[in-house]
Structure 1
Amino acid sequence: MKNQMSTVWAILVSFLFIHGFTAEPAINNRYKVLRVLPRNEEQLILLQDIIHKRKNIDVWRAPAAVNSTVDLNLSPSSFEYIIAELEANDIYNEVLIEDVQKAIYNQQKNEGSKISVMEGDDFDYGNYHTLKEINNWIQEMATKYKTITTIFKITNTYEGRPLLGLKILNHYKSDPEMKTLLDMFDWYIVPVVNPDGYEYTWSNANRRMWRKTRSKHGRCIGVDPNRNWDMEWCKSGASIDPCSDIYCGPFAFSEVEVKGVADYIMKQTKNITGFLDFHSYSQFWMTPWGYTERLPTDFKRQDEGAMAACEALRRVHGTKYEHGSIANIIYKASGSSADWAYAKARIKYSYGVELRDTGKYGFLLPADQIIPSGQETLKGIVAIAKYIYNQK
């Protein structure tokens, strides 16, 4: 019975965790990351207004609620301006990253341990990799494990790169836990959903913080892929400004990458019972809705799955994740993948996951945290897969 079900049930896992600054700041001018904590409604509104007026601020973590931290990547001039405004209004702040360029350099020094997680596999899982290296890994996995894996192509990107994924079938027997998972589901894994943006981050150190796609819409480049889905598109927590790093695009599904993934899902929609979209950072395991603080009909079951994932994850290295709906736990964000997957593709168990950490490194997580982050995340995925399976 399990093997029959696994041909029907599937979980799609995608990774969309590139963050950046659309105006390409000169990072070598000692940008700093500043954490701010608005302690009342007046301070929150003031902080939102300050950020809105100073348009060249790179917002890592937006001002969403009272007593919710805000992280800003600031040029020297913006840092002086913001500090003066904060101190004048008695708003708490601290510097999280003193020198962003140094943090980027440290991340690119190949700090990770040379660790292979599969016997005979020489891929270095303890370091960050270029798009070419990731695509080569996909090819190598499909060749090495040709009886259980197949490559699928979703579409070509705006700049003509293939957007590839790896489907893992239900015949893997060497690890009991993995065998159980693959008896339950087929797995569709898309390592990089924004290939053009990801490739761009490797082209120059000053471009490391790029977040958006690379399409051209007006005077600035790119669209935030997780504001471009056709679900309450651009209603809240998104911007119509093409230069904003949360630009929703000129219309829903304007981005070929986002539309390609959506079309692929809709072709498989009767087969997909779980959807996980991984981003960074904040350590959240989140459920719909993103566009409103109102909770969906299935929230209780969705949140129970998220709770199971967080607990399983915590038991590995003690890392604590929070769980809840996107709008209530982090901020409102319309046009998100999790909202669309739940509402339009009818995938009941749809999640957006923000990976390590909570701000010490932010989007510049050191390479030596890749392996432990992967280990704990895998346990979270295992737990949520078991939870979903047991609901059927």
Structure 2
Amino acid sequence: MLLWIFLVGFAAANEEFSSQQNSTRHAQYRGSQVLRVRNATESIRNLLKSLEGEKAIEIWKQSNVFGKFTDILVPSFTLSFVRQQFENLNATFRVMIADVESAMHEQIAIAPRKQSKNKNKNKKSRSYNLTFQRYHRISDIYGYLDYLVSTFPSICSIETIGTTIQGRQIKVIKISGSNAKFSFYIEGGIHAREWVSPASVAYIVRELVEYRSKNSFAENADYYVSPVANPDGYEFTHTNTRLWRKNRRDSDKSCPGVDLNRNYGYQWGGLGASRQSCDETFAGGNSFSEPESQAVRDFLTKIGPSVQAYVAFHSYGQYILYPFGYDKVLAPDSADLQKLGAKIAKNIRKSSKKKYKVGNSAILLYEASGGADDWAKGGVGIKYTYTIELRDAGRFGFLLPASQIEATGKEAFIAIKTITQEIAGIKRKKKSRF
């Protein structure tokens, strides 16, 4: 009853907060905190569901496993009440981010550029703006792809695979291998707020193209890379609401957007997906209702059976996940996926000391139906299908500082290299380094 009384009074404040999201980028989060709560009892889990359903909190990172943690964003105007509810249930929780607005300002601070050993190379004029010292708008990311195509035309080409709700292009760069044995599809940025994902995918592209001579393994594959799978949402996080997740479908003016990673047509509309447009995991009116998911569906169907690997990069948590996610159901070749996933994690740890957990997404974290990875595996039949949750483990969450872009991109690249070598049958030399 107490919760219900509070939430009735909270509705007006929530409406005001929602309206602020369309007018300011960071000030709306002033005083908001990110808490990490242990899912120790059914009562705590039910409380989290109630608070999320009434928009008193927003789930950042979830685990349905008892004893594991859930990260939540708590707006400043609900913070006191939410903390009291946890204390009433003797819930274990701690503050991960004490002030979200301050963390946002820290994230957009430009990291110092590392000095190159080749000083002459730094003096070379560039026709693009992309760096790995800060987070960039989509125009800079696409500008970099255009530069690569004009500079390396023998291996690079661009295809526009679709157009978004708001008319933005969805671009894929193809990086051709001279001895290509298979195709590899790489995707970033399906969830708009996960800025390190497009940045890391752009880093992968750089390594595959500009540093080709030291990455000869790449000659064994044709790479199709989509750095920003949700262009409208990504731009919206830069101009309006930093923590926006969905696309910008506006059929419901009060609650726009569809979660594109719940919109794919394999086991669509089941566990972990919502039919309510105001929810973060809203799956859309039907499967493939969105032009962004349609574009990927049509493109992957077109390039066909040559695709043997699919990796979608997300953040955060440091996980290497494989299908299926719609329920706790393992793919027939899950042992192969686990084995290769463990190899990726091992190679990352050797390089950066960072630990990535490996496992089935529904078992390790939670069920989520209608995911792009489930469709790639179950709908298209791509053997090596992974979703990789990049840095960090929760200290910054979605607000990872720009100073960690390059290190995170390197970890993402190690994953791509390891998968390519596995499929191509390349033995890694003992003294080689990632």
Give the structure-2-normalised TM-score. 0.80
Report the more deviating stretch, 66-75 or 379-388: 379-388
What secondary structure is seen at the aligned counterpart in 2 of 1:59? strand
Give the superposition deviation at 1:240.
Answer: 1.0
Match of 1:58 in 2: 58
Cα distance change of structure 1 residues 65 and 317 upon mapping to structure 2, 3 Å threshold: same
What secondary structure is seen at the aligned counterpart in 2 of 1:276? strand
**Residue identity matched to 2:108:** Q
What secondary structure is seen at the aligned counterpart in 2 of 1:36? strand
Cα distance change of structure 1 residues 56 and 117 upon mapping to structure 2, 3 Å threshold: farther
What stretches of structure 2 of length at least 5 have no aligned partner?
1-16, 22-26, 179-208, 427-434
Match for 1:195 among 231, 248, 254? Answer: 231
Match of 1:31 in 2: 32
**Residue identity matched to 1:57:** I
Give the superposition deviation at 1:238.
Answer: 1.1
Cα distance change of structure 1 residues 114 and 176 upon mapping to structure 2, 3 Å threshold: closer
Match for 2:158 among 129, 151, 155? Answer: 151
5 Å matches for 1:173-192? Answer: 175=212, 178-182=215-219, 184-192=220-228
CA–CA distance in 2 between the matches of 1:109 and 1:336? 33
Give the superposition deviation at 1:56.
Answer: 4.1
Match for 1:208 among 221, 236, 242? Answer: 242
What secondary structure is seen at the aligned counterpart in 1 of 2:312? strand
Structure with more helix by fraction: 2
Match of 1:342 in 2: 377
Answer yes or no: is the 8 Å Cα contact 1:44–1:63 preserved in 2. Answer: no
Give the superposition deviation at 1:45.
Answer: 3.5
Match of 2:147 in 1: 140
CA–CA distance in 1 between the matches of 2:90 and 2:407? 38
Answer yes or no: is the 8 Å Cα contact 2:311–2:388 preserved in 1. Answer: yes
What secondary structure is seen at the aligned counterpart in 1 of 2:140? helix
CA–CA distance in 2 between the matches of 1:112 and 1:250? 45
CA–CA distance in 2 between the matches of 1:24 and 1:128? 23
Q: CA RMSD in A?
A: 2.2
Answer yes or no: is the 8 Å Cα contact 2:109–2:401 preserved in 1. Answer: no
Give the superposition deviation at 1:55.
Answer: 2.3
1:56-91 C-alpha deviation (Å, 9 max, x unpaired): 422101241212211111112221121111100001
Answer yes or no: is the 8 Å Cα contact 1:290–1:327 preserved in 2. Answer: yes
CA–CA distance in 2 between the matches of 1:156 and 1:99? 37
CA–CA distance in 1 between the matches of 2:212 and 2:249? 42
What secondary structure is seen at the aligned counterpart in 2 of 1:217? coil
1:10-61 C-alpha deviation (Å, 9 max, x unpaired): xxxxxxxxxxx98765624311111101223443344334433x32422101
Which of the pair has the greater relative contact order for Cα pairs under 8 Å at 6+ separation?
1
CA–CA distance in 2 between the matches of 1:37 and 1:109? 32
Match for 1:231 among 266, 273, 290? Answer: 266
Answer yes or no: is the 8 Å Cα contact 1:31–1:101 preserved in 2. Answer: yes
Answer yes or no: is the 8 Å Cα contact 1:48–1:63 preserved in 2. Answer: no
Give the structure-1-normalised TM-score. 0.88
Match for 1:297 among 332, 355, 359? Answer: 332
CA–CA distance in 1 between the matches of 2:177 and 2:235? 32
